[in-house]
């Protein structure tokens, strides 16, 4: 086993590089529609995929979110939100390999079919049950409420990229039941079906090695970091180390 420290930003980049190679995403880029719902992790994914298909021009991770959580010492409104979140560029919709600039999931949802893929980030991760939860602030369920129409109604594949930094210890269904009760303040929670995709999955798809969370934490920019213990044969470990080295200096997300 070898151990590697991965910061939250490096984790996002690692997940993004791995999802470029995901078989379902590769297929959807050739023969269907890929929907990358705006979010901070998904911004890295959109960046990597658009670069891979030669259409990165015009894309920026800046403002590629509908809401964002920031520290208490930053100017904000409400529950950690930015005072100004204008300038939203739209989600990234790629149909038959072509980026449809300015479109959102709401524009395309009724046309999605089996074989298409939706990528949607998450806010909570139960690593023991491989389950993700999403904060809900919109009275109609937001983008995940729309995405589930296609996932459950038409078997459109739903992939949930989420960093290990978002792991929780409780049962997500129990937490959602508590958070969604009448009279409770703050965001609601939806436990979501779909393929959860973390740094652990990224290591597997990139190198074939097996990774597990062995420790976490840090300071001076390493806050939220995770230590991964990675097992595999010599070739797999070498590949895993190369991929992690390619992302480990990823700068922290900036607004």
Which pairing describes strands 188-192 and 2-6: parallel, antiparallel, or unpaired? Answer: unpaired
Distance CA 20, CA 93 (A): 15
Average pLDDT over the chain reads: 93
Q: Is the pLDDT of residue 134 over 60?
A: yes
- Contact in structure between 24 and 159 (CB atoms under 8 Å): yes
Least confident of 50-54, 130-134, 140-144: 140-144
The pLDDT of residue 66 is 85
Helix 40-52 and helix 8-19, axial crossing angle in degrees, nearest 10: 40
Phi and psi, residue 214, nearest 5°: -115, -20
Q: What is the DSSP letter of 251?
A: P
- Band (pLDDT 50/70/90 cuts) for residue 67 is confident
Distance CA 206, CA 226 (A): 18
The tens digit of pLDDT for each residue in 183-226 reads 999 889 999 999 999 999 999 999 999 999 999 999 998 999 99
Helix 199-207 and helix 8-19, axial crossing angle in degrees, nearest 10: 50
| C-beta atoms surrounding 49 within 10 Å | 26
- Band (pLDDT 50/70/90 cuts) for residue 76 is low
**Better pLDDT: 77 or 228:** 228
- Contact in structure between 74 and 103 (CB atoms under 8 Å): no
The pLDDT of residue 77 is 57
Q: Is the pLDDT of residue 22 over 60?
A: yes
Distance CA 127, CA 169 (A): 9
Distance CA 38, CA 104 (A): 9
């Amino acid at each position: 086993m070898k151990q590697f420290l991965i910061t939250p930003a490096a984790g996002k980049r690692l997940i993004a590089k791995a999802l470029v190679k995901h078989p379902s995403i590769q297929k959807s880029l050739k023969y269907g529609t890929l929907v990358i719902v705006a979010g901070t992790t998904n911004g890295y994914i959109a960046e990597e995929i658009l670069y891979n298909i030669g259409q990165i021009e015009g894309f920026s991770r800046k403002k590629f979110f509908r809401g964002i959580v920031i520290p208490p010492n930053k100017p904000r409104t409400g529950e950690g939100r930015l005072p100004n979140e204008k300038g939203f560029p739209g989600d990234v919709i790629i149909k038959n390999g072509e980026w449809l600039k300015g479109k959102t999931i709401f524009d395309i949802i009724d046309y999605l079919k089996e074989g298409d893929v939706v990528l949607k980030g998450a806010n909570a991760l139960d690593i023991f049950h491989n389950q993700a939860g999403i904060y809900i602030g919109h009275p109609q369920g937001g983008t995940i409420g729309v995405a589930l129409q296609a996932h459950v109604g038409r078997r459109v594949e739903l992939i949930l990229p989420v960093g290990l930094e978002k792991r929780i210890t409780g049962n997500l269904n129990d937490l959602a039941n508590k958070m969604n009760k009448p009279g409770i303040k703050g965001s609601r929670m939806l436990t979501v079906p779909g393929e959860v995709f973390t740094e652990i999955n990224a290591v597997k798809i990139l190198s074939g090695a097996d990774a597990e969370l062995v420790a976490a934490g840090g300071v001076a920019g390493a806050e939220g970091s995770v230590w991964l213990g990675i097992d595999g044969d010599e070739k797999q470990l070498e590949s895993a180390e190369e991929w992690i080295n390619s992302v480990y200096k990823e700068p922290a997300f900036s607004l």
